[in-house]
Amino acid sequence: MSTARWAGATALGAGIAGVVAAPYVLPSYVVSLLTLVFIAALLAGSVNLLAGLAGLVSIGHAGIAAAGAYGVAWATVHGLGLPAALGVAAALTLAVSVVYALTTMRTTGIVFLMITLALGITVFGLALKLSSITGGQNGLTGIRRPAVVGEWWQFYFFTAAVYGVCLLALAALSRSPFGLLLRGIRESESRMTSLGYSVTAVKFVAILVSGVFAGCAGVLLAWNSEFMSPSAASFSRSALAVVMVIVGGTGTLLGPLAGAGIVVAAEYWLSSYVERWPTVLGVVLIAVVLYAPRGIVGGLEDLAGQRLHRPRKEGS
Amino acid sequence: MSVDELLLQALNGLSFGALLFVLASGFTLVFGLMHIVNLAHGAFYLVGGYVGIITVTATGSFPAGIVAGVATAAVIGLASERLLLRRVRGKELPEVLLTVGIALVVGDACLAAFGGNPRSTPVPPVLSESVRLGSITYPTYRLFVLSLAVALGVLLYVIQHRTRLGALIRAGVDDREIAESLGIDVPRVFTATFVFGAALAGLAGVVAAGLLTLRPGADTDILLFALVVVVVGGLGSLQGAAVGSVLIGLVDAFSKALVPELSYFAVFAPMAIVLMFRPSGLFGRSGT
């Protein structure tokens, strides 16, 4: 094994050990924050799948997550069992993802970003206005997560496990032929078209796949707070996911996790000192775009690459 | 729906469309020249509107409110372009992400400065009455907004096609490099356009404050409308913004009257339909 692989394996082992040990050594509020980090990282990961591989930055993904969350919340409130509730969540997530995919699959770059933003605001508006279904501004209360994961520490392990599985899936996707297709599209759509691929169809599928991860994050979100309100679909939630991806490093596997950790921690600690949280968020976004465009994990990768005298990794 | 009601909703739609045109024309001009999707446009609208309200309340003068709102939005636009956007010029994604950052900061500053309660402008007495149009009476203010938008549209068209400034802007749109090699100071034209776009957002905000209420979140609401209008009309096209505004204004008015719960979806639907059949919008150039 090379030094890099040893280092990687050691870090992975330490990471898993840390995640498992956390509830036994850390205060419960920190563990709850970690739960939030994993949920946020999953949503950020779904944004990163499109942004990192295909170069499609969605600033409306909270809308897809909210679809999953409202699905499970509505079904639970209406007395449906767990399988049925998950079915409703899956169906709603898929339906909303299909709308996202159909409206954006022929666009790229900033137009993609614009339309996903419009979609996100539309979902937010619908959640607010369809009060007979969503409870409007008051939201849906009385959502209970399944009894198996009822305790905070049980839910922490469950969330961590879901995130772990999704992370493996994301890693596999990134290395798969499909991931290569998406990279090809990012580099040159016309080249991929002339190679015989249907760029539109590939994007359609990619948006659906990304939507599945976002929907999972949504279900976890609803279960975590046991409450659902339109703010989960708001512009700032979608922007937050993009900030996490950019802060962590677009196109890196662990970037969204690092970004989510920093943003959730900052939100928690800063919000008790400064009232102006969105300002902090905006300033962080501006600073990262101007001074650290590759993000934290991206920057570390560059650094590691230089240390080991390897050729610089392909930029994202 | 009776004929009167139909006429009323049509006028409501047209006057809201007029407001959307004031808003979207600035948005689309900036995109047309600079290829920047300014997602802070809604925040500029909000800050312009709030400053307008404060000024009108303090001075009792509506024109003073317009001047103050427009000037504030223009100054924030100038600062955003000079201090931030200029540093990532030509990189589409960093540019648009910077405008997201600006939108968050300006929106939050509005909440801090003007509070969370809905506010609107006291409309000047001349405009607060109603006029009889056949069998219905209609608020003068809405007709004022309508004529303002028409005047603005004519002005923008004349500027773009009949003046030196318009020629500079069109040159910058068509071929930046050639324009620069001909000695045109393109960065300065860029700054001027961005500031002008921000000023239009501020104008829309002040005018809107007499029509709608301003509150936290109104910036993203109106941004949705601006996005939909320019996506439907075609990014960067002034005619597109005009047609898109009228269309979306009418759709919004009638959907709110007929199916209020689905009004958001009704605004979104035309955009989805246009995107499926004409991804570059009704008047958009393909390939941009």
pLDDT digits (tens, 9 = 90+) for B97-134: 999 999 999 999 999 999 888 988 888 888 888 888 87
Give residues 145 to 164 of B whose Cβ lies within 8 Å of A: none
**With an 8 Å Cβ cutoff, is A236 touching chain B?**
yes
- Is B263 touching A (CB cutoff 8 A)? yes
Give yes or no for B107 touching A (CB within 8 A). yes
Map residue B131 onto helix, strand or coil. Answer: strand
∠B205-B208-B214 over CA atoms, to 5°?
A: 75
The pTM score is 0.88
Q: What is the pLDDT of residue A308?
A: 59
Question: How would residue B286 be classed by pLDDT, with cut points 50, 70 and 90?
Answer: low
B185 at the A interface (CB within 8 A)? no
Instruction: Give the CA count within 13 Å in the CB-facing half-sphere of B141.
Output: 18
pLDDT at position B34 over 80: yes
Is pLDDT above 90 for B284?
no
Predicted local distance difference test score (pLDDT) of residue B121:
83
pLDDT at position A1, please?
A: 56
Number of domains in chain A: 1
Q: Does B98 touch chain A (CB under 8 A)?
A: yes
What is the pLDDT of chain A when averaged over all its residues? 89
Q: Which of residues 176-215 of A touch B (CB under 8 A)?
A: none
Average pLDDT, chain B: 89
Residues of chain B neighbouring A99 (CB-CB closer than 8 A):
272
pLDDT of residue B266: 83
B97 touches chain A (CB under 8 A): yes
pLDDT digit string, tens, across residues A71-88: 999 999 998 999 999 999
Of A268 and B194, which is predicted with more confidence? B194
Q: Which CATH number among 1.10.3470, 1.10.1750, 2.60.120, 3.40.50 corresponds to the domain B3-115+137-277?
A: 1.10.3470
The helix/strand/coil state of A212 is helix
Domain ranges of chain B: 3-115+137-277
CB count, 10 Å around CB of A172? 11
Give the gap in angstroms from C-alpha B224 to the nearest C-alpha of chain A: 5
Domain-located, residue A251: no
CB contact under 8 A, B105 and A113: no
CA B79 to chain centre: 19
Q: Is B79 on the interface with A (CB under 8 A)?
A: no
The mean-pLDDT minimum among A76-85, A118-127, A241-250, A299-308 falls in A299-308
Residue B265 has pLDDT above 90, yes or no: no
Q: What's the Rg (C-alpha) of chain B?
A: 19
Q: Does the beta carbon of A271 lie under 8 angstroms from any beta carbon of chain B?
A: no
Residue of A nearest to B222 (CA): A121
The per-residue pLDDT for B57 is 92
- Put simply, whether A290 touches B (Cβ < 8 Å) is yes
3-state secondary structure B160-182: HHHCHHHHHHHHHHHCHHHHHHC
Q: Between chains, do B275 and A282 touch, taking CB under 8 Å as contact? A: no
Whether chain A has a CB inside 8 Å of the CB on B278: the answer is: no
pLDDT at A214 over 60: yes
* Structural domain boundaries enclosing A228: 26-234
Q: CA B288, CA B278: separation in Å to the nearest integer?
A: 13
pLDDT above 60: residue A314: no
User: How close B271 comes to chain A (CA, Å)?
Assistant: 8
For residue A301, pLDDT over 80 is answered with: no
Residues of B in contact with A104 (CB under 8 A): 275
Q: What is the pLDDT of residues B54-81, one digit of tens each?
A: 999 999 899 999 999 999 999 999 999 9
In a domain, A147, yes or no: yes
Contacts of B221 in chain A (CB under 8 A): 121, 125
Contact B32, B156 (CB under 8 A): no
DSSP B217-231: THHHHHHHHHHHHHH
Rounded to whole angstroms, the Cα distance separating A248 from A253 reads: 9
pLDDT above 60 for B145: yes
What proportion of chain A, given as a percentage, has pLDDT over 90? 54
Nearest to B263 among A102, A129, A275 (CB): A129
Phi-psi region of B278 (alpha: psi -120 to 50; beta: other; left: phi over 0): beta
Res A315: pLDDT: 44
A247 half-sphere exposure, CB direction, 13 A CA radius: 26
User: Does position B150 have pLDDT exceeding 80, yes or no?
Assistant: yes
Region of poorest pLDDT, from A17-31, A154-168, B23-37, B268-282: B268-282
Confidence of residue B245 (pLDDT cuts 50, 70, 90): very high
pLDDT in tens, A158-212: 999 999 999 999 999 999 999 999 999 999 999 999 999 999 999 999 999 999 9
Q: How far is B111 from chain A (nearest CA, A)?
A: 9
Within 8 A by CB and 6+ apart from B205, the residues are: B44, B45, B46, B47, B48, B49, B50, B52, B69, B73, B214
- At A116 the pLDDT is 93
**What is the nearest CA distance from A6 to chain B, expressed in angstroms?**
36
Distance from CA of B153 to the nearest CA of A (A): 24
Cα angle for residues B165, B169, B172 (degrees, 5° grid)? 140
A106 near B CB under 8 A: yes
Per DSSP, chain A holds a count of helices (H) and strands (E) of: 14, 0
Question: What residues in B contact A279, CB-CB < 8 Å?
Answer: 104-105, 108-109
- Nearest CA distance, B56 vs chain A (angstrom): 28
Three-class secondary structure of residue A295 per DSSP = helix
CB contact at 8 A, A228 and A140: yes
Q: What percent of chain A has pLDDT over 70?
A: 96
Confidence of residue A137 (pLDDT cuts 50, 70, 90): confident
User: What is the pLDDT at residue B288?
Assistant: 42
B258 near A CB under 8 A: no
User: A109 and B101: CB-CB below 8 Å?
Assistant: no
pLDDT at residue A241 greater than cutoff 80: yes
Q: What is the pLDDT of residue A307?
A: 62
- Report the residue from B37, B105, B107 with minimal CB separation from A110: B37
d(CA A271, nearest CA chain B) in Å:
14
- Chain B contact for A241 (CB, 8 A cutoff): no
Give A69 or A131, the one with higher predicted confidence: A69
Q: Which residue of A has its CA nearest to B276?
A: A103
Rounded Cα–Cα distance for residues A298 and B37 (Å): 26
Instruction: Give residue A142's pLDDT.
Output: 83
Please report the pLDDT score of residue B33 as a whole number: 83
| Banded pLDDT at A316 (limits 50, 70, 90) | very low
Put simply, whether A173 touches B (Cβ < 8 Å) is no
Give the residue, A300 or B188, on which the prediction is more confident. B188
Flag whether pLDDT at B226 surpasses 50.
yes
Option in A106, A126, A239 nearest B279 (CB):
A106
Cα separation, A271 vs A278, whole angstroms: 10
Chains A & B: contacts with CB separation below 8 Å: 128
For residues A231-252, give the mean pLDDT: 90
